[in-house]
Amino acid sequence: MGHRIGRGSGRRPGRPVLPSVRGAVPRAAELFGRVLGGAPDAVFSAPGRVNLIGEHTDYNQGLVLPFAIDARAQVAVRARDDGRLRVVSGQQPGETVEVNLDGLEPGAVTGWAGYVAGAAWALAERGHRAAGADLALDSTVPVGAGLSSSAAVECSTALALATLAGDRLAPEELARVAQLDENRFVGVPCGLMDQMASSASRAGTVLFFDVGADRTEHIPFDPATAGLVTLLVDTRAHHSLADGQYARRRATCEAAAETLGVDSLSRIAPGELDAALAGLGDDETRRRVRHVVTENERVRAVVELLRTGAVRDIGPAMVASHASLRDDFEVSCAELDVAVDAALAAGAAGARMTGGGFGGSVIALVDRDRVDEVGAAVTGAFARAGFTAPVLRLVSPADGAGADG
């Protein structure tokens, strides 16, 4: 039995005893003193995120609805006057990476330190200042669980370096710097959702981000008042086909938009979908397009429900989103499907894969007093299927990037 669901006799009924990610605290300042010596000038942090709904829509200029979670990457920073970066990470023990910022170009720093050095490069590239610094990074965002540990590193580092240089970046600009870091310096062709969520989120809300309109809005999201919790199931599956398939989905969407004569698939209104599908030659492309158009519509519907406080009622849209990602966009996998099916069978109000797919996490909306049953059902289903035991966490919407202490 991998993950134990608490059923202790002293437990108050209805109180979930699953670990919350809030339990873990990053300790960048301590790491800084221990490895780099002395004290940092300042400490900053940025969170990981989950996406409530709106998947594979960001790079189609569509709608997404992520929120920051209470797991964060923290960066302790001290200025240097020699134009160099010296970087350590609590998750990469024993390694200190030194980089000269002068003439820094993509490709010069690979591996994990590329995310950090790339933040300095991307700041300069977008016309901001970035000076040399000592940086100690410590993060409680698990890597590769679909919670965007990369955006947390990028946003916290870019914020630290910009602030040290005397720049104040708006959250939207910080997100764009972080995305440029990941796209061009690290070389991952991600959309803007992860960085925007890590940078601009506010506690107690989900971030309604209309990528095409470049507009964000904070929508109250309060499952607790409705007697619900958001349960994350990290399937611990990280399928190697994820990167290549992501690029293929993007290319298919862009080619379909061109065939249909629109800037992006998100320009297609739901009422125009049938006509658009009729204009496409093959069934696979039709299904990809149908996912994007219907997913945008589901985001809109969920936002309207949340505006009225009807949190429980978003469940069916989550379920429909998962089905669309599984059948039309084909980015799910056996682990994600088993987690969603088991959660729903055990009474979850809604459940779907979250993040790019082919592994990573499922987000489920669950009655507070049923969370143990749902967790046990998922863990049991994984055991029966012969999968690695999942990791279960409760998450709630947290603040985006900022100064710590």
- Only segment of 27-35, 99-107, 140-148, 371-379 that touches Mg ion (CB under 5 A): 140-148
- Only segment of 89-97, 283-291, 303-311, 335-343 that touches ligand ADP (CB under 6 A): 89-97
Catalytic annotation, pick one of 138, 181, 194, 210: 194
Instruction: Compare residues 185 and 382 and give the one whose CB is closer to ligand ADP.
Output: 185
State the binding partner of 359 from ligand ADP, Mg ion, none, CB within 5 to 8 A by kind. none
Q: Under DSSP, is residue 216 helix (H, G, I), strand (E, B) or coil?
A: strand
Task: Please provide the DSSP assignment of 60-93 as one string.
Answer: GT-EE-EEEEEEEEEEEEEE-SSSEEEEEETTST
CB 269 within 8 A of CB 292: no
Q: Using the rule CB under 5 A, which residue among 51, 89, 139, 150 binds Mg ion?
A: 150
State the binding partner of 144 from Mg ion, ligand ADP, none, CB within 5 to 8 A by kind. ligand ADP
- Only segment of 85-93, 96-104, 303-311, 378-386 that touches ligand ADP (CB under 6 A): 85-93
Token pair of 218, please?
Answer: 């904070």
Q: Using the rule CB under 6 A, which residue among 45, 57, 89, 157 binds ligand ADP?
A: 89
Site for ligand ADP in 132-161 (CB under 6 A): 137, 139, 143-144, 146-150, 153
**Is 194 in the active site?**
yes
CB 49 within 8 A of CB 72: no
Number of residues that bind ligand ADP (CB under 6 A): 16
Q: How far is the CB of 143 from ligand ADP (least distance, A)?
A: 5
CB 158 within 8 A of CB 119: yes
Site for ligand ADP in 59-78 (CB under 6 A): 73
State the binding partner of 139 from Mg ion, ligand ADP, none, CB within 5 to 8 A by kind. ligand ADP
Q: What distance in Å separates the CA atoms of residue 86 and residue 90, rounded to the nearest whole number?
A: 14
Q: Using the rule CB under 6 A, which residue among 91, 179, 201, 396 binds ligand ADP?
A: 91
Task: Please provide the DSSP assignment of 199-262 as one string.
Answer: HH--TTEEEEEETTTTEEEEEE--GGGGTEEEEEEEEEEE-TTHHHHHHHHHHHHHHHHHHHT-
CB 104 within 8 A of CB 120: yes
Token pair of 325, please?
Answer: 């990602």
Please compute, for residue 57, the number of CA atoms within 13 A of its CA located in the half-sphere on the CB side: 33
Instruction: Compare residues 31 and 206 and give the one whose CB is closer to ligand ADP.
Output: 31
The helix (run of H) or strand (run of E) holding residue 145 is none
Give the largest Cα separation in the chain, rounded: 66
Q: How far is the CB of 141 from Mg ion (least distance, A)?
A: 10
| Residues found near Mg ion in the complex (CB under 5 A) | 148, 150
| Residues found near ligand ADP in the complex (CB under 6 A) | 73, 89, 91-92, 112, 115, 137, 139, 143-144, 146-150, 153
Instruction: Give catalytic residue positions.
Output: 194
